[in-house]
């Protein structure tokens, strides 16, 4: 099978998943409402931090919403990606997965196409957050190129979490079990990261965990781009780490999918 045919198979799986996403009006509505709630309620409730000079130094900005926006973008990618594996379980339950396996397509195209869709969905969700934050007065210091990089990093992190979710789904038979495991994963990742609070304000033991949390890698790079500028010495290492994690998790998800259908 030629490389062009494999890419074509990936595209059609991706298009099917993305088309399903665009038809879910309630889900699209929640994509708008959820970040709006986070930004308006939590952003305003924690805005008092910026009145403290010491807190402002830790945040790196005089606007808590500017500090928080990259964290909200990655949290959205976290939740969007970690439930991506449900598509495998739904396809298996409805019998569509068996039809795809019977079709003359490359089997790796199934998880890879789904991951492409998760990445694009995550980027669109992040774009909604950017638009809402602009209306709330958030300023992105690097402008449109910076926003584009934020979207790419969000999509990359969504693919990482989607790969983990697909790996789990390949070995599970119940959507409920996957949801329980996903909820168990998301809360610790979110609460032990720098998404909402600066690392310097954390206890030593929590700071040590945050420094190795992949979510913190993504937020650190995005926060630097959004609030400080193109300080590449602070950006390249987290981004390279995320790319490495993505390659590993994608490879594992494809291998686990192969094993589950063989």
For residue 196, which phi and psi values (nearest 5 degrees)?
Answer: -105, -30
Structure tokens of 63?
């606007």
Instruction: For residue 17, give the nearest of 61, 72, 80 by alpha carbon.
Output: 80
Collapsing DSSP states into helix, strand and coil, what is residue 258? helix
Span between the terminal Cα atoms of the chain, in Å: 19
Model pLDDT for residues 163-197, shown as the tens digit of each residue: 999 999 888 878 888 888 888 888 888 888 888 87
- What pLDDT is attached to residue 49? 56
Q: Is the pLDDT of residue 58 over 60?
A: no
Angle, alpha carbons 153-231-150 (nearest 5°): 20
Query: Do residues 84 and 14 touch, judged by C-beta distance below 8 A?
Result: no
Angle, alpha carbons 257-74-38 (nearest 5°): 125
Mean pLDDT calculated for residue range 80-106? 84
- What pLDDT is attached to residue 186? 86
Model pLDDT for residues 221-246, shown as the tens digit of each residue: 999 999 888 998 889 999 999 999 99
- What pLDDT is attached to residue 44? 62
As a whole number of angstroms, the distance between CA 39 and CA 126 comes to 13
Instruction: For residue 125, give the nearest of 191, 38, 16 by alpha carbon.
Output: 38
Query: Do residues 162 and 81 touch, judged by C-beta distance below 8 A?
Result: yes
As a whole number of angstroms, the distance between CA 160 and CA 81 comes to 7
- As a dihedral over the C-alpha atoms of residue 257, residue 21, residue 120, residue 129, rounded to 10 degrees, the angle is -130
Q: Is the pLDDT of residue 50 over 60?
A: no
- What pLDDT is attached to residue 240? 95
As a whole number of angstroms, the distance between CA 146 and CA 239 comes to 14
Mean predicted lDDT score pLDDT of the chain: 84
Model pLDDT for residues 133-171, shown as the tens digit of each residue: 898 888 899 999 999 999 999 999 999 999 999 999 888
Mean pLDDT calculated for residue range 77-103? 84
User: pTM here?
Assistant: 0.89
pLDDT band at 117 (very low <50, low <70, confident <90, very high): very high
Residue 112, Cβ density class (10 Å: 0-12 exposed, 13-18 middle, ≥19 buried): buried
pLDDT band at 43 (very low <50, low <70, confident <90, very high): low
pLDDT band at 57 (very low <50, low <70, confident <90, very high): low
Query: Do residues 82 and 161 touch, judged by C-beta distance below 8 A?
Result: yes
């Amino acid at each position: 099978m030629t490389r062009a045919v494999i890419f074509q198979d990936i595209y059609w799986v991706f298009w099917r998943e993305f088309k399903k996403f665009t038809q879910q009006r309630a889900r699209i509505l929640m994509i708008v409402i959820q970040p709006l709630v986070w930004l308006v309620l939590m952003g305003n409730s924690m805005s008092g931090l910026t009145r403290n000079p010491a807190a402002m130094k830790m945040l790196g900005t005089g606007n808590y919403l500017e500090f928080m926006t990259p964290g909200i973008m990655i949290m959205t990618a976290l939740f969007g990606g970690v439930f991506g594996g449900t598509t495998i379980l739904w396809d298996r339950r409805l019998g569509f997965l068996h039809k795809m396996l019977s079709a003359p397509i490359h089997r790796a195209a199934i998880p890879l196409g789904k991951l492409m869709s998760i990445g694009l969905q995550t980027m669109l969700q992040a774009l909604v957050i950017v638009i809402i934050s602009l209306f709330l007065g958030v300023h992105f210091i690097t402008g449109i190129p910076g926003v584009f990089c934020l979207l790419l990093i969000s999509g990359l992190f969504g693919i990482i979490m989607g790969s983990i979710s697909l790996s789990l789904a390949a070995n599970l038979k119940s959507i409920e079990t996957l949801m329980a495991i996903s909820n168990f994963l998301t809360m610790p990742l979110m609460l032990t990261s720098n998404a909402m609070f600066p690392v310097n304000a954390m206890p030593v033991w929590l700071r040590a965990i945050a420094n190795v949390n992949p979510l913190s890698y993504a937020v650190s790079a995005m926060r630097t781009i959004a609030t400080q500028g193109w300080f590449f010495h602070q950006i390249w290492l987290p981004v390279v780490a995320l790319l490495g994690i993505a390659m590993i998790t994608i490879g594992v998800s494809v291998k686990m999918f192969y094993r589950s259908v063989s």
